[in-house]
């Protein structure tokens, strides 16, 4: 390690006094002007991680659905998954080290993680369309070069595209070609093969309006357009040429406010969807003839995909284990429908993509989606191998056709991470194959009315939870109070959990009517305020 170069470059990316940030599920996120030293140091960390695992590591500069003035950075592990939890700790240590301790902290990480500094290192870099992203990715490069790493800068890409590139690179091309063209070709080919198998003569041309959150999704969808067949007519809105990123648009806005984005005119019964700022989440929606807005969130997307996969798995007659993984935020009626009507096992885990992804890996076919629209499907190595073998060798027509559909689905889904473009194509293919309209999809089950609230507290750590965040262990008396409140309403449940990023407690409640869901959420928020050290004025109904 060249101490002189490290000292010189570190001085060019100084850490503001008194600033401490934590590496969370989404990496680091903050106001863009506070991140220069952080991204430089994540360049250093990516080199160390690459040397430790002898593989290419990814670095993505993005703050996803946050406002345009924010930014962030996250690392991508060798198979396109999130950074290993033990390294999240190293990331936090390195980010918060004072300038003069930097070399010492790097040496400590090398000792703890058995990093051989003489090994080669390779890092892939991507960034979103924020005004601050280009300069920040330059600082990443400074960090990589100080420790003698090699890098490839992909420039403007969606977050899932970078995850995909890293996985392709480290599987020596088995997962695909580590180029944008490779990504577009693989997805479009699988999509065309799938819809070729659709026998319904429904809408021969399928129109879809897409709100791209004024972000990177618009650029990449436009690049991909020439790869699509004529039957797919996608209309891009909020393409970033006029308005600010994520401002009154995007998947997060639509989900939170339960209303259509600005910049997109909806006619009755038109299929519309929204990506988020870095295109790793998607939600669908439509307006009915009476003008009512209907949101189709991650739970309903998971349900549609599960119906499709379950039918195909039944046809190939293999003993594959399939399950759906949700969090406590999943609508109670989606869980009921999956378990009781579809007879698919459902598992609940803590909030955060890494927990869902980890659990989904336990099954031959693991479907996971957060209600916010982030999700994908994972296929075990054994299941994938068997399916590809059936396509080649199965004599029974029906079995072989079903195996072929599964194979195309495997190639169409981005198994590394939730991917709005890939998920959209999967959904569009399923709707075409099953001849379903957006209204029929929506009608699978009715969502229970629900309400999300948050309460500011002096210290979020006073709340400790168990049972995948569905029960509160501390402060004493809080869970008993919630249980008593829930008993007052029909089909109701409620839970509280500390935010991962700020001193607030998040509250979720659902019940048989919106009025009851709102009342329950309010009563629970008062309980939190009084028992968990609320700040400011008590919550108002």
Does position 201 have pLDDT exceeding 70, yes or no? no
Q: Give a yes or no: residue 171 inside a domain.
A: no
366 and 351 together in one domain: yes
The CATH number linked to 456 is 3.30.310.50
Among candidate residues 64, 133, 306, 422, the one labeled active-site is 64
432 and 503 together in one domain: no
Is there a contact between 438 and 268 (Cβ–Cβ < 8 Å)?
no
**Considering 447, 466, 482, which residue would you say is the last residue of a domain?**
447
The reported pLDDT for the residue numbered 196 is: 86
399 and 251 together in one domain: yes
Total number of domains in the chain: 3
Does position 264 have pLDDT exceeding 70, yes or no? yes
**Considering 447, 472, 497, which residue would you say is the last residue of a domain?**
447
Percent of the chain with pLDDT over 70: 99
Percent of the chain with pLDDT over 90: 91
Residue 508's domain spans which residues?
A: 450-532
Q: Convert the pLDDT of each residue in 333-391 to its tens digit.
A: 999 999 999 999 999 999 988 899 999 999 999 999 999 999 999 999 999 999 999 99
Does position 50 have pLDDT exceeding 70, yes or no? yes
24 and 46 together in one domain: yes
Q: Give a yes or no: residue 484 inside a domain.
A: yes
Q: Give a yes or no: residue 62 inside a domain.
A: yes
Q: For residue 435, what are the CA distances in angstroms to 152, 195, 198, 401, 408?
A: 43, 11, 8, 18, 18
Tell me the torsion sign for CA atoms 38, 167, 306, 308: positive
Does position 532 have pLDDT exceeding 60, yes or no? yes
418 and 469 together in one domain: no
Is there a contact between 353 and 281 (Cβ–Cβ < 8 Å)?
no
Q: Give a yes or no: residue 394 inside a domain.
A: yes
pLDDT tier for residue 199 given thresholds of 50, 70 and 90: low
> Is 230 in a helix, a strand, or coil?
coil
Does position 78 have pLDDT exceeding 90, yes or no? yes
88 and 187 together in one domain: no
> Ramachandran region of residue 91, left (φ > 0), alpha (ψ -120 to 50) or beta?
alpha
Higher local confidence (pLDDT), 103 or 1: 103
Active-site residue, 64 included: yes
**Considering 447, 472, 493, which residue would you say is the last residue of a domain?**
447
- How many secondary structure helices (H) and strands (E) does the chain include? 18, 19
Q: Give a yes or no: residue 539 inside a domain.
A: no
| Residues 397-407, mean pLDDT to the nearest whole number | 96
Neighbours of 246 (CB within 10 A): 26
Is there a contact between 309 and 274 (Cβ–Cβ < 8 Å)?
no
Does position 170 have pLDDT exceeding 70, yes or no? yes
Chain centroid offset of residue 132 CA: 22
Task: Please tell me the distance from the alpha carbon of residue 519 to that of residue 309, in angstroms, as a whole number.
Answer: 38
Which H helix or E strand runs over 87?
A: helix 85-96
pLDDT tier for residue 228 given thresholds of 50, 70 and 90: confident
Is there a contact between 240 and 215 (Cβ–Cβ < 8 Å)?
yes
Q: Give a yes or no: residue 32 inside a domain.
A: yes
pLDDT tier for residue 232 given thresholds of 50, 70 and 90: confident
Q: Give a yes or no: residue 541 inside a domain.
A: no
| Strand ranges for 186-333 from DSSP E | 206-211, 232-237, 272-275, 282-287, 293-296, 322-327
370 and 347 together in one domain: yes
The CATH number linked to 363 is 3.40.120.10
249 and 366 together in one domain: yes
The reported pLDDT for the residue numbered 121 is: 98
Q: Give a yes or no: residue 540 inside a domain.
A: no
The reported pLDDT for the residue numbered 59 is: 98
Task: Please tell me the distance from the alpha carbon of residue 334 to that of residue 329, in angstroms, as a whole number.
Answer: 11
Query: What's the burial of 242, exposed, middle or buried (CB within 10 Å: 0-12/13-18/19+)?
Result: exposed
Does position 465 have pLDDT exceeding 60, yes or no? yes
Does position 95 have pLDDT exceeding 70, yes or no? yes
The reported pLDDT for the residue numbered 25 is: 81
For all residues of the chain together, what is the average pLDDT?
Answer: 95
220 and 314 together in one domain: yes
pLDDT tier for residue 106 given thresholds of 50, 70 and 90: very high
404 and 479 together in one domain: no
Is there a contact between 243 and 263 (Cβ–Cβ < 8 Å)?
yes
pLDDT tier for residue 7 given thresholds of 50, 70 and 90: very high
Known binding residues for substrate? 370-372, 497-501, 506
197 and 90 together in one domain: no
| Residues 274-292, mean pLDDT to the nearest whole number | 96
Runs of H (alpha helix) within 171-269: 180-196, 216-224, 251-257
224 and 294 together in one domain: yes
């Amino acid at each position: 390690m060249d101490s002189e170069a490290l000292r010189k470059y570190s001085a060019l990316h100084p850490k503001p006094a008194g600033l401490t940030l934590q590496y969370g599920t989404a990496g680091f996120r903050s106001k863009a002007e506070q991140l220069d030293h952080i991204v430089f140091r994540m360049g250093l960390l990516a080199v160390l991680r690459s040397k430790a695992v002898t593989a290419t590591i990814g670095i993505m500069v993005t703050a996803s659905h946050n406002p345009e003035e924010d930014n962030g950075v996250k690392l991508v592990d060798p198979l396109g998954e999130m950074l290993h939890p033990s390294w999240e700790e190293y990331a936090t240590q390195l980010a918060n080290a004072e300038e003069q301790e930097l070399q010492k902290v790097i040496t400590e990480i090398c000792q703890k993680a058995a990093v051989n500094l003489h090994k080669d290192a390779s890092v892939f870099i991507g960034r979103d369309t924020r005004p601050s992203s280009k300069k920040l990715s330059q600082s990443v490069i400074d960090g990589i070069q100080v420790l003698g790493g090699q890098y490839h800068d992909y420039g403007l890409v969606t977050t899932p595209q970078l995850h995909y590139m890293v996985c392709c690179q480290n599987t020596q091309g088995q997962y695909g070609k580590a180029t944008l063209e490779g990504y577009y070709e693989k997805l479009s080919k699988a999509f065309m093969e799938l819809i070729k198998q659709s026998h319904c003569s429904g809408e021969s041309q399928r129109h879809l309006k897409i709100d791209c959150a004024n972000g990177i999704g618009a650029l990449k969808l436009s690049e991909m357009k020439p790869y699509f067949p004529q039957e797919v007519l996608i209309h891009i809105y909020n393409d970033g040429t006029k308005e600010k990123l994520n401002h009154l648009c995007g998947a997060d806005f639509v989900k939170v406010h339960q209303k259509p984005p600005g910049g997109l005119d909806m006619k009755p019964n038109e299929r519309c969807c929204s990506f988020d700022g870095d295109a790793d989440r998607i939600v669908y929606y439509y307006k009915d003839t009476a003008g009512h807005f209907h949101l189709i969130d991650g739970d309903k997307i998971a349900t549609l995909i599960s119906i499709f996969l379950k039918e195909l798995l039944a046809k190939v007659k293999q003993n594959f284990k399939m399950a759906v993984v949700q969090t406590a935020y999943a609508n109670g009626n989606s869980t009921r429908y999956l378990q009781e009507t579809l007879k698919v096992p459902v598992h609940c885990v803590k909030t955060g993509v890494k927990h869902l992804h980890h659990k989904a890996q336990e099954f031959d076919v693991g479907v996971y989606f957060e209600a916010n629209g982030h999700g994908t499907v994972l296929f075990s190595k054994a299941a994938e191998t068997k399916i590809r073998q059936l396509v080649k060798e199965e004599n029974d027509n029906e079995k072989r056709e079903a195996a072929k559909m599964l194979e195309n689905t495997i190639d169409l889904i981005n198994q590394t991470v939730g991917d709005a473009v890939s998920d959209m194509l999967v959904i569009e293919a399923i709707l075409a194959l099953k001849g379903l309209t957006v209204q029929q999809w929506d009608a699978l089950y009715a969502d229970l009315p629900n309400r999300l609230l948050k309460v500011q507290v002096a210290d979020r750590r006073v709340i400790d939870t168990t049972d995948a965040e569905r029960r509160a262990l501390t402060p004493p008396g809080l869970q008993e109070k919630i249980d008593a409140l829930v008993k007052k309403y029909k089909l109701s449940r409620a839970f509280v959990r500390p935010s991962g990023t700020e001193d607030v407690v998040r509250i979720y409640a659902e019940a048989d009517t919106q009025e009851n869901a709102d009342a329950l959420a309010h009563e629970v928020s008062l309980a939190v305020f009084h028992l968990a050290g609320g700040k400011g004025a008590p919550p108002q109904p």
